[in-house]
Chain A
Amino acid sequence: MNATNKRVAVVLLSLTFLLLSFGAHSIAQTTRGGADIAVVVHPETPVSDLSLSEVRQVLLGERQYWNSKLPVVLLIRAPVARERDVVLHVIYQMTEAQFKQYWVAKIFRAEAASPPKIVYSNDMQYELISGIPGAIGFMDARNVRPGLKVLRVDGHLPGDKDYPLH
């Protein structure tokens, strides 16, 4: 092997390694660090503290009523929002595709009439949660405004050391 060929081979292999590393990094980068995600509900919702598994039960559509007169109205941010990433990763423990398939199957099994409502911004979410009794949503704790009720999860509020949604 002459020196030129060796150099070409080394360059090609180095480039390949770099590109593969970049691709792997891009694929692996699915969640980002950030502020805690608050679980917020309409102020009249008769709960103030849920365990993480109870939050999961609500989000999975296994608990559909806060009480016999107040149905749960699920709100979830549109894809790409960090709030959605955290909800899917920590609560549903599903990928985006699995989440979509889950709700198609849920409705098909006649266990729910509709999937969670999609919200596109914090303002929209604020308006819906404060306007629809029984609504529950998830927002960056920094964006929580007065007029919403923040639920404790496993006894913790956003910002607490052991708060699970971040």
Chain B
Amino acid sequence: MVRALLSFGVALLAAGISCAQSSTPTDQTEQIRVLLERIQQLERRVTDLEAKQVPASATAVSTAKENPLPSQTPQQQTPPPATQPHDHEVREQAATVQQMEQHYPSLQIRGFGDVDFAATDQKGTNSGFNLGQLDLHLASALSRKVTYFGEMTFNAQPTGYTVEVERNIIRYDYNDYFKISFGRYHTPIGYWNTAFHHGAWLQTTISRPDMVRIGGTFIPVHFVGFLAEGNIPSGGAGLSYNVGVGNGRGNVISRPGDAGDNNNNRAWVANIYSRPRGLYGLQMGASVYRDKINLMGRDFREWIIGAHLVWTKETPEFLAEFVNVNHRQVLTDLATNSQAFYVQLGYRLPWFERTVKPYYRFEYTHTPLSEQVFTNQDLVGSIFGTRWDISNYAAFKAEYRYTKREIANPWVNGFFLQTAFTF
């Protein structure tokens, strides 16, 4: 009994010591904080001393007078220093401002990568490691109102690597209500496709939902054309829009017509969403996409409608999205409807410095047997996993998946690991 109690005590002591050690950075933080406050005190003293050297005739800038602080603030208790700056101060100020002002073009490059491990009990598959996408993102302000965005991925293939231009966009901002851009986008249908793009580090889970899978066909993931976007004056509703016209699906249905459209019909897309000001973290929206598809000499009209509801705060995180894809063959008027949806729930735990987030996702895809544009994409499955942010820019994820594709196939159990990072 005594030994057990002592062992328990020693174990708790060890835990206590490690906990106390973990508080060391907090001590350093406090020291830095104290030093910063000291710098501020010294700055105030320098300002006061300089003010005493200058005749008190200097006038305060009128705008500050127009918005005086209330009388009880310390600012009012001590008279503001005179503001006749010295020449060297003016020069220093100009240099600081010049240094911090935006210079054009101002290219920023950010990379994303991931390394994965997969093991399933599906017949005919091998377990093992694989390199995910290496993703390079470019952003460059070309002027105050013109910005370039680009994204390239390097994808591991059995015979080497393929390079793909994922996004290539130039955008002109008029104001918050109207921005127009041209290039290759992620089609603004629903939420996930434009919220997370290719960097696995950005998303909670290891993989994207099947309906927005990279290289998938359920929705046109990419879009080549132009896009107008902006906020809609709507008060507390916080409405925003995207409206675009482009080439639509190409001859390979998973790809947009990068090198040119395969017909004279343009696809168009409209997306409207709300981020209510009173409910910070909530976003809900609806999307419509219209296209005409040419597939092996047959023409199809495509209507896609989608809706999403998300709560982006991580306590909890909630993502839900639904899409219906309608295809109607022009010649026969035969129509099919395919549906897909997912619901994802995550929660960032308050312990371990908020670095751990368990999650669950259910997803479902149904394509009718009469569907002629897609191959069968039926899927039902659940994902349980945990994300552990090992730093601000890197994470480990572990997932268990239980999925079934098409009715005749068996359920598959899978275990997946990923480390995803940005650099």
Can you list, as one digit per residue, whether each of A132-165 has a CB less than 8 Å from chain B (1) or not (0)? 1000000011111111111110000111100000
Q: How far is the CA of A64 from the CA of B171 in the complex (A)?
A: 14
Please provide the chain A residues from 105 to 150 with a CB less than 8 Å away from any CB of chain B in the complex: 105, 107-110, 113-114, 117, 121-124, 127-128, 130-132, 140-150
Interface centre among B19, B27, B354, B393 (most CB of A within 10 A): B19
Which of chain A's residues has its CB closest to B354's CB?
A: A95
A64-B176, A142-B73, A144-B69 given; A107·B139 CB < 8 A: yes
Known: A123-B43, A157-B70. Is A146-B29 also a contact (CB below 8 A)?
A: no
Which chain A residues lie closer than 8 Å to B199 at the CB level?
108
State whether A26 and B23 are in contact (beta carbons under 8 Å apart), knowing that A12-B9, A68-B175, A114-B106 are contacts in the complex. yes
Q: Which of B33, B81, B110, B280 contacts A107 (CB 8 A)?
A: B110
User: Does B176 contact A149, Cβ atoms closer than 8 Å?
Assistant: no
Contact of B6 among A2, A8, A131, A143 (CB under 8 A): A8
**Contact partners of A1 in chain B: CB under 8 A:** 1-2, 5
Q: For residue A15, which residues in chain B have a CB less than 8 angstroms away from its CB?
A: 13, 16
Q: How far is the CA of A23 from the CA of B16 in the complex (A)?
A: 8
B residues less than 8 Å from A2 (CB atoms)? 2
| B12 beta carbon closer than 8 Å to chain A | yes
Bound together, the chains give a CA A12 to CA B1 distance in angstroms of 15
A-facing residues in B191-233 (Cβ within 8 Å)? 194-197, 199, 202, 231
Is A97 touching B392 in the complex (CB atoms < 8 A)? yes
Residues of A within 8 A of B16 (CB): 15-20, 23
Asked whether B169 lies within 8 Å of A23 as measured between CB atoms, the reply is no
Task: Bin the interface of chain A by size.
Answer: 35 or more
Asked if A150 and B174 make an inter-chain contact with CB atoms under 8 angstroms apart, the answer reads no
Shortest beta-carbon distance, A36 to chain B, in Å? 7
Across the two chains, which residue of chain A brings its CB closest to B46?
Answer: A123
**Cβ-closest chain B residue relative to A115:** B108
Contact of A93 among B63, B169, B313 (CB under 8 A): B313
Determine which residue in B70, B81, B108, B202 has the highest number of CB atoms from chain A within 10 A of its CB, and name it.
B70
Q: Does B261 contact A (CB under 8 A)?
A: no
B39 within 8 Å of A (CB atoms): yes
Residues from chain B with Cβ under 8 Å of A64 in the complex:
173, 176
Tell me which of A56, A104, A122, A144 contacts B40 (CB under 8 A): A122
Q: For the complex, give the distance between the alpha carbons of A132 and B144 in Å.
A: 13
Q: A109 near B81 (CB under 8 angstroms)?
A: no
Task: Identify A13's interface contact among B9, B47, B389, CB under 8 A.
Answer: B9
CB–CB A19/B19 < 8 A? yes
Whether A114 and B6, one on each chain, are in contact in the complex, defined by CB atoms closer than 8 angstroms, is no
Is the CB–CB distance between B40 and A5 below 8 Å?
A: no
CB closest residue in chain A, given B135: A108
Known contacts A16-B12, A20-B16, A95-B354; is-contact A147 B33 (Cβ 8 Å) = no
Partner of B80, one of A12, A93, A132, A146: A146
Q: Which of A96, A108, A121 contacts B202 (CB 8 A)?
A: A108
- Residues on A with C-beta less than 8 A from B47 are 145
Q: Is the CB–CB distance between B33 and A80 below 8 Å?
A: yes
**C-alpha gap A18/B112 in the complex (Å):** 43
Residue of A nearest to B81 (CB): A145
* Alpha-carbon distance between A157 and B112 when the two chains are bound, in angstroms: 43
Q: Does B53 lie at the interface of the complex (its beta carbon under 8 Å from any beta carbon of A)?
A: no
Q: How far is the CA of A97 from the CA of B202 in the complex (A)?
A: 13
Q: Tell whether B366 is near chain A: CB-to-CB under 8 Å.
A: no
User: What residues of chain A lie closer than 8 Å to B26, measured between beta carbons?
Assistant: 26-27, 29
Decide if B101 is an interface residue (CB 8 Å cutoff).
yes
Q: List 14 A-B contacts (CB under 8 A).
A: A8-B9, A12-B6, A12-B9, A15-B16, A19-B17, A23-B16, A48-B66, A64-B173, A65-B175, A68-B174, A108-B202, A124-B96, A132-B100, A140-B40
Instruction: For the complex of A and B, list the 3 residue pairs with the smallest distance between their C-beta atoms, beginning with the closest.
Output: A19-B16, A23-B19, A12-B9
Instruction: List A residues at the B interface (Cβ < 8 Å).
Output: 1-2, 5, 8-9, 12-13, 15-20, 22-24, 26-27, 29, 35-36, 38, 43, 48, 51, 53-54, 56-57, 62-65, 67-68, 71, 80-82, 93, 95-98, 100-101, 104-105, 107-110, 113-114, 117, 121-124, 127-128, 130-132, 140-152, 157-160
Known: A93-B313, A101-B202, A146-B61. 8 other contacts (CB 8 A): A19-B20, A20-B12, A68-B174, A80-B33, A105-B196, A113-B106, A143-B75, A159-B69
